[in-house]
């Protein structure tokens, strides 16, 4: 089967190559999935550089999430059969024509959802849901500021925020991407390259945002601290800027 394999850890992804490798053997409790679609996550990039907390033994097949059709089931697997449409993942192995995945982590794909949507859904929407519902306790009528809103997890946060009844202010680093997030349901959009603190204050009547969803970190996090409402919640989701957030108390 063809797969995207990481042979060496490099900063420029030159250690990756697409080549033929054997179809993985099934272990106990695993399902062999014929992969139809896979999603790219930030940890995929970090793992190929050796900078993620999970460090697979080289060489390894890249890819955390995928969706497809069950091709075979291993010993001890119940509830799934060849032909079932499922989505799931592991730390590695998704960027290939076939993937061996633990059956315990698989979910059936609804009939009205395609493979591409299913592959991109779990990490992004679960992250947004846990952050906004379980951690921030976002309430109807509150203001939600979403950074990196044109990315996968940012777009999911816009969706979930609107479903929860919040007013959503979305940010991105380009005007064309701002058009996308407005079309996706955000109430307001701000280009962060021009600063956002004062604009957020203006849009919220001087209060600031009740909840801030930040997968960017770095300078964006620093400025977020300066436009958060009293009793606000600042969610540290990631650091795609390259600098881990810190508060100088």
- What percentage of residues in the chain have a pLDDT greater than 70? 100
How many CB atoms within 10 Å of residue 57? Answer: 6
CA distance 156 to 122: 10
Q: Can you give the pLDDT at residue 240?
A: 83
Q: What is the mean pLDDT of residues 219-245?
A: 93
Q: What is the pTM of this model?
A: 0.83
Q: Is residue 241 over pLDDT 90?
A: no
pLDDT digits (tens, 9 = 90+) for 42-97: 889 999 999 999 999 999 999 999 999 999 999 999 999 999 999 998 899 999 99
In degrees, rounded to 5, the angle at the alpha carbon of residue 157 between the alpha carbons of residues 155 and 162 is 100
User: Which secondary-structure segment (H or E) carries 203?
Assistant: helix 197-203
- Report the first-to-last Cα separation within the chain, whole angstroms: 53
Q: Can you give the pLDDT at residue 78?
A: 94
Could you tell me the two tokens for 243? 């600098």
pLDDT digits (tens, 9 = 90+) for 113-131: 999 999 999 889 999 999 9
Q: What is the DSSP letter of 187?
A: S
Bridge partner residues of 125 (DSSP)? none
Q: Is residue 133 over pLDDT 90?
A: yes
CA distance 52 to 62: 13
Q: Can you give the pLDDT at residue 226?
A: 96
Q: What is the mean pLDDT of residues 28-45?
A: 94
Categorize the per-residue pLDDT at 242 as very low, low, confident or very high, splitting at 50, 70 and 90: confident
Q: Is residue 174 over pLDDT 90?
A: no
pLDDT digits (tens, 9 = 90+) for 143-168: 999 999 998 999 999 999 999 999 99
CA distance 232 to 222: 15
CA distance 142 to 238: 23
CA distance 40 to 119: 9
Q: Is residue 243 over pLDDT 90?
A: no
Q: Are 16 and 91 in contact (CB under 8 A)?
A: no
Q: Can you give the pLDDT at residue 57?
A: 95
CA distance 235 to 213: 5
Q: Can you give the pLDDT at residue 238?
A: 87
Q: What is the mean pLDDT of the chain?
A: 95
Q: What is the mean pLDDT of residues 28-33?
A: 96
């Amino acid at each position: 089967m063809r797969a995207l394999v990481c042979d060496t850890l490099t900063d420029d992804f030159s250690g990756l190559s697409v080549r033929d490798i054997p179809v993985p053997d099934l272990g106990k409790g695993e399902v062999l999935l014929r992969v139809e679609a896979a999603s790219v996550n930030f940890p995929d990039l970090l793992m190929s550089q050796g900078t993620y907390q999970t460090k697979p033994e080289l060489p390894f097949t890249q890819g955390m999430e995928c969706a497809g059709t069950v091709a075979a089931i291993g010993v001890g697997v119940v509830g799934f059969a060849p032909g079932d449409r499922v989505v799931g993942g592991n730390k590695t192995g998704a960027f290939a024509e076939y993937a061996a995945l633990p059956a315990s982590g698989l979910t059936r794909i609804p009939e009205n959802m395609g493979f591409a949507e299913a592959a991109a859904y779990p990490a992004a929407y679960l992250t947004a849901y846990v952050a906004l519902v379980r951690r921030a306790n976002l309430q109807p009528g509150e203001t939600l500021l979403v950074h990196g809103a044109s990315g996968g997890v940012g777009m999911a946060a816009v969706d979930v925020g609107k479903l929860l009844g919040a007013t959503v202010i979305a940010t991105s680093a380009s005007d064309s991407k701002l058009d996308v997030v407005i079309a996706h349901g955000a109430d307001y959009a701000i280009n962060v390259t021009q600063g956002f603190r004062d604009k957020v204050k203006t849009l919220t009547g001087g209060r600031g945002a009740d909840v801030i969803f930040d997968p960017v970190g770095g300078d964006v996090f620093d400025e977020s601290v300066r436009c958060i409402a009293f009793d606000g919640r600042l969610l540290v989701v990631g650091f795609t800027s390259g600098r881990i957030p810190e508060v100088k108390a």
